[in-house]
């Protein structure tokens, strides 16, 4: 399929959706369709026109359509779901559980009807549980449903290591596993800068500060903004995942995917390292965890199971 005939659908025209539209346009990836509520369409059309006005300067020709009609997403190769209520100051991701469930259930049915062959990326919070809901209500195979989770968290972990060591973020390699929340697991023993373990470069006290800042990075941004939540870094992390799929890059990215026995986890979306290529989630990579890391992952699993039970009870 040529680039000109490619289509990426964005469900949700909020800050993450508009940031994604800009990034897709700048990189000349595909036609963009943004779907939102009828009352939001004119506003999104204005933002879309503003983005398209960069085309002469960027040397690209991406078309952006804003609509409330899901038939417009037909034949989309990728559907990115950012729809839902964002966090506000004082809210946890799990506070959005019941609010955003109905949104994702509705979106799942529309995407299944109009873009049944798409690769679907979700960022709606709490993202691991929203992936579970989308998977259940869409009937999509597990290899074509993925959540932002560790892709964003690992990026934040890399950033904070780079900031503390004063080395380039390009040379930092690390990974975060588990759910997208304060119980996430930054794997410090795997973190390196140019191949050098961070334990050689930073004190244990400083490393622990980085771990805690990574776990609460989203909350830090929410508190600083006062209204709304992060959008540029989530959009950037999503683009890494989407590009891995579109161009069959075989990227190894920690993401929220459905585990069925891997890491002792069954029937649950959770952040684990996986390979993303033209087949979607092509495989989960299992690495040997320490007893402490496995216990932390089991704790994350328990939290996510409790979320699902809450929804069942409601």
For residue 84, the model assigns a pLDDT of: 87
Name the CATH superfamily for 3-147.
Answer: NAD(P)-binding Rossmann-like Domain (3.40.50.720)
Q: Which of 135, 137, 180, 227 is catalytic?
A: 180
- Residue extents of the structural domains in the chain: 3-147, 150-313
pTM of the entire predicted model = 0.94
- Fold match flag (3-147 vs 150-313): no
CATH architecture of 150-313: Alpha-Beta Complex (3.90)
Q: What pLDDT tens digit does each residue of the chain (314 aa) get?
A: 344 579 999 999 999 999 999 999 999 999 999 999 999 999 999 999 999 999 999 999 999 999 999 999 999 999 999 998 765 666 666 677 888 999 999 999 999 999 999 999 999 999 999 999 999 999 999 999 999 989 999 999 999 999 999 999 999 999 999 999 999 999 999 999 999 999 999 999 999 999 999 999 999 999 999 888 899 999 999 999 999 999 999 999 999 999 999 999 999 999 999 999 999 999 999 999 999 999 999 999 999 999 888 888 76
DSSP secondary structure string, 108-162?
HHHHHHH-TT-EEEE-PSSHHHHHHHHHHHH---GGGEEESTHHHHHHHHHHHHH
The reply to whether 180 belongs to the active site is yes
Q: What's the confidence (pLDDT) of residue 3?
A: 47
Handedness of CA 183, 256, 107, 73 (dihedral sign): positive
pLDDT given at position 92: 62
What is the pLDDT at residue 98? Answer: 82
Q: What CA–CA distance (Å, rounded) separates 236 from 19?
A: 8
């Amino acid at each position: 399929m040529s680039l000109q005939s490619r289509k990426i659908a964005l469900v949700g025209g909020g800050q993450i959706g508009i940031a994604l539209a800009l990034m897709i346009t700048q990189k000349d990836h595909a036609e963009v369709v943004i779907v939102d509520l009828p009352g939001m369409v004119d506003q999104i059309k204005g933002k879309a026109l503003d983005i398209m006005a960069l085309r002469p300067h960027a040397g690209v020709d991406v078309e952006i359509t804003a609509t409330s009609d899901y038939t417009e997403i037909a034949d989309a190769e990728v559907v990115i779901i950012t729809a839902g209520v964002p966090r506000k100051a004082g809210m946890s991701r799990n506070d959005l559980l019941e609010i955003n469930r109905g949104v994702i259930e509705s979106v799942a049915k529309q995407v299944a009807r109009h873009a049944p062959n798409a690769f679907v990326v979700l960022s709606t919070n709490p993202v691991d549980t929203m992936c579970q809901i989308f998977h259940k209500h869409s009937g999509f195979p597990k290899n074509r449903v993925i959540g932002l989770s560790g892709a964003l968290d690992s990026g934040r972990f890399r950033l904070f290591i780079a900031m503390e060591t004063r080395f380039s973020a390009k040379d930092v390699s690390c990974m975060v596993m588990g759910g997208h929340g304060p119980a996430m697991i930054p794997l410090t023993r795997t973190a390196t800068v140019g191949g050098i373990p961070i334990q050689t470069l930073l004190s244990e006290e400083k490393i622990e500060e980085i771990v805690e800042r990574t776990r609460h990075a989203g909350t830090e941004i929410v508190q600083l903004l006062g209204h709304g939540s992060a959008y540029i870094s989530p959009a950037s992390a999503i683009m890494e995942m989407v590009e891995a799929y579109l161009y069959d890059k075989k990227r190894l990215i920690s993401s929220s995917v459905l585990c069925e026995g891997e890491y002792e986890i069954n029937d649950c979306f959770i952040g684990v390292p996986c390979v993303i290529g033209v087949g979607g989630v092509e495989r989960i990579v299992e690495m040997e965890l320490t007893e402490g890391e496995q216990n932390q992952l089991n704790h994350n699993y328990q939290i996510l199971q409790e979320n699902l039970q809450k929804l069942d009870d409601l």
